[in-house]
Structures are given as C-alpha cells and as structure tokens.
Copies of this chain bind each other. A is one copy, B any other.
C-alpha cells in the first residue's frame, strides 16, 4: 500500500495540481520548544495547505501553550500522535537523542516525517533510519537543513550552476553566534553548529567531503573552556577546499557568511539587512542575536515545500530538501570532524556509498 493511500491523498501523478483544493495536510508536532513553537506558528499561519493537528511535548505546559495559539489538540504520547488517524505527517522538533525513535515510528506507519537536524546524533542511529526507509521502499524522511531554502544560498547555488563563476575551488564559510552555553563539549561546536555548513557545502558543491582538518586557536574567554572558535578545513572528492570558521561565543551578534570562489569569479551571500541606520557617528546595519530572524524565510519555504511534497505525494521536481541520506552524511561528517578536532590531525573520510533509494 502506498504512502499516498495511507495519507489519504489523491493518487494524482506528481506535477498534477488537482490536490490544491483538497483538504489540508494535518501535521503532528513532537517537541514544543523554541523551534517547535516556531514551526507550529508557521504551519498554522503562514503555510498553504497545512493545519496543525496535534502537539506533544515532555513538558505538557509548553505543548498547551502552542495549542492555545493554534487550536490543535495536545497529545500526551508521541507514538500515539504518530499513529493517530487524523495525523497525515509528522514534524520532529524534540531533543536530539529522541529523533531516531520518532522517525522510525513514522516510517513504520508510512507517514512523511520532517525531522529537525540532526537526523540522529550517531552514525548508527542514522543507519537504522536509512535501513528502515530502504525497507519501506520510498522516501518518507526529510531533514530540516533549512539553509537550502534561504534565498541567498539558493541564488548562490544558482549562480554556480549557471556558470557565472566557473568551476568551484574554495568555499569560505563563517558561522557566528553571540553566545552559547559556556563549557559545553568542544565537539558540540561541530555537531550543533558547523553541521549546517557541512550539509550546505555538500549541497552547494554537489559532491562529498573526503578529508577534514580542524585548527583551533586559543579559546575565547567567554567559551568557558570549550574549543571555540574553530577553523575546519575540508577537502572534497574533486579537490575543492572548504574552510569554516565557527565561533559560537562571538559576542557581537548572529552572522552567517559564505563565499564560493570559482575559476573566474566568486559569489557570496549578501547581507540581508532590511534597513541601514545612521546615528551617533556610524552607518550601521542591525544584526539579529539569533538564527531565527536570519533564516525565517528559509524556515517558511522549507515547511511549504515539505507540505507541498506531502500533498503531491512526491517531492517537487527541483526540491532542495535534505533526505535521510543527507542526514546520515551530515552526522558522519560531523563525527569525522570531531575526530579531527580531538586528534589535531587530518582525518580521511570514507562515506559509505549512497543507497539506490537516494539517487536523484
């Protein structure tokens, strides 16, 4: 029985638009923290063709707060939510270690699931999801690497694909947060933060990373002992270099930069400040203090694309959505970078070959 049948949608071929006036996709949300609440707000108020059906959180007060704002039901048990007949698709925004179980449960009942990154914190966990989805026989899992939907990254990739800069040689990335839990494990700087660059590098360049070195300066005083900032240097299969400055206690604000250097030119993210102020001796562009304003539009487009793919029972032809395979690769790469950080030496990365299900 196909997913389409399971989810109650018309069996129209992908590309058909008859679905557009059928009933909305009913989403069940697991995790009502900062990210979950944002997703709930978007699904209820800014995404076409979706409704929030149920919300589940270990902290029922948080779940209720989200429900009040949207009119959905609170469901105490995440597995019951996943199995609920009213729920067409599942959005997992709970704590990292819980992702695997919920994603596997969604696959088990044949429901589309959008899982916040990471797909799972361990390579083994990701592998189990790959195995389950492969056994199911078609793709149900999307991983929430939302930068692939950011208008800047999209335009950057388009410029590359249009040949504006020639073949890529070097990708420079900067990822700064104003502050983070002082004293967190140094590995978390990679697995929580740099992992976004690991994913977006693979996506932009369209190839795999084969080697990683991590250089670390003296840590920032505000980092409380964590190795922060870090400078990751990666090599791709075709020989391009990627360098990533990740600095999660940078103090001054949230900022993401990305410049792709090609054989004949470069393209970089613009600075998306809606206004420029002149006051007290400076021309100033305001910066946000966290990632949500910076990537608000990316989150909206990601959810819309996901909802569209659920209604179509197929991803859009040119969807940039990250698959379970991309989620596996991101965790695999992040773990390799952690080893490079811990050993101080280059680490060769030998990603397993991509299962057939994830071929384009």
Q: Are A277 and B238 within 8 A (Cβ)? A: no
For A229, list chain B residues within 8 Å (CB): 169-170, 261
Which of A105-113, A116-124, A151-159, A332-340 contacts the other chain? A151-159
Of residues 208 to 252 in A, which have CB atoms within 8 Å of B's CB atoms? 213, 215-218, 220-222, 229, 231, 233, 235, 238-241, 243, 245, 247, 250-252
A353 at the interface (CB under 8 A from B): no
Tell which of A229, A240, A267 has the most Cβ of chain B within 10 Å: A267
Contact with B along A288-320 (1 / 0, CB 8 A): 010000000100000010001000000000000
A45 at the interface (CB under 8 A from B): yes
Would you mind naming 18 contact pairs between A and B with Cβ atoms under 8 Å apart?
Answer: A17-B68, A44-B48, A156-B274, A159-B277, A164-B277, A172-B172, A172-B245, A213-B213, A218-B239, A222-B263, A251-B265, A252-B280, A253-B278, A268-B276, A282-B285, A283-B287, A284-B284, A297-B297
Count of chain A residues with a beta carbon within 8 Å of a chain B beta carbon: 89
Q: Point out the residue from B174, B217, B276, B283 that lies within 8 Å of A273, measured CB to CB.
A: B283
Q: Are A241 and B217 within 8 A (Cβ)? A: yes
- Counting every copy of the chain, the complex holds 4
Closest residue to A68 on the B side, CB-wise? B17
A69 at the interface (CB under 8 A from B): yes
Cα distance, A45 to B286, chains bound together (Å) = 32
Q: Are A275 and B50 within 8 A (Cβ)? A: no
